[in-house]
Amino acid sequence: MNQDIRALSYAEALREAMAIAMEADERVFLMGEDIGVYGGAFQVTGDLIERFGADRVMDTPISELGGAGVAVGAALGGMRPIYEFQFSDFAMLAMEQIANQAAKMRFMLGGAVSVPVVMRFPAGSGTGAAAQHSQSIEAWFAHIPGLKVIQPATPHDVKGMLLAAVADPDPVMIFEHKLLYKMKGPVPAGHYTVPIGEAEIRCAGRDVTIVATSIMVHRSLAAAAELERENISAEVIDLRTIRPIDRQTVIESVKKTSRLICVYEGVKTMGIGAEISAMVVESEAFDFLDAPILRLGGAETPIPYNPDLERAAVPQTPAIVEAARRLVTAKA
């Protein structure tokens, strides 16, 4: 491995990105509950309080609405805050500041101001945290004009996309799947960015397109490897950004493979897969489809505590494999 590329965990890559941003720009500071001495609910901020001090790594009271309001106000005042929610579920308490203030200020003031705030959301199931701490609500945010919403799936991308988010003049919401924090991968040293709004083809294929987000990218890649042994070639697209969506990458892939599966952890109804499906149907790719589009999303239920039920409530690799098998033999 190149000496400038190290194997870092997803959490380590995030921490490194925040440190780089803080070293480069004194306007960047961190806010959140227990992000200081404790190091964050998932130990992402780690030792940053020791490196940058309590004035720039700020523990906030247990008030998501208040913390988000301070972050939005600081961004309006010229700072570049990064605000961490302990769990993405708790963002529901702060939607007034996110959806009615941060998302709309630039529009309502005719472009005279920007709101360069980054908000971080540990999201998703798989940790046994039950119904109020395990949701995938990124589609809520993607529905709101004025917000950018990203879901990096790898340590490389989470570092580069966080640095891109800090530099962005508009509010960026970054959803980090909790099961990814310990996942390791190659990460270049120093500053680099991964563009917001660009998908990545993780695996080229000819028979079916699988568009996936977050941890579902890894489950889709595992499915693609199994399908390859059956002579079914799956193209896996890591969407990376769900607002704005990289429309062209998806459409060109579907035109090539003529089949589409959307895989995401959020509840299936009105989830990101519905938007991707509609986008394809409304495009020139529709005439290339040889089978109905399939959506694999979360079950219509709160996330259970029981580990077997929890796994059953969101797509797993075997379900992706079975969906692809069905699709390649289906007729339009």
As annotated, the active-site residues are 64, 133
Q: Determine contact, residues 84/49, Cβ cutoff 8 Å.
A: no
Q: Which of 231, 248, 332 is nearest to 290 (CA)?
A: 332
| Whole-number Å distance between alpha carbons of 211 and 153 | 13
Q: CA 217: distance to chain centroid?
A: 11
C-alpha 303/C-alpha 148 separation (Å) is: 26
Closest of 214, 289, 225, 230 to residue 255, by C-alpha: 289
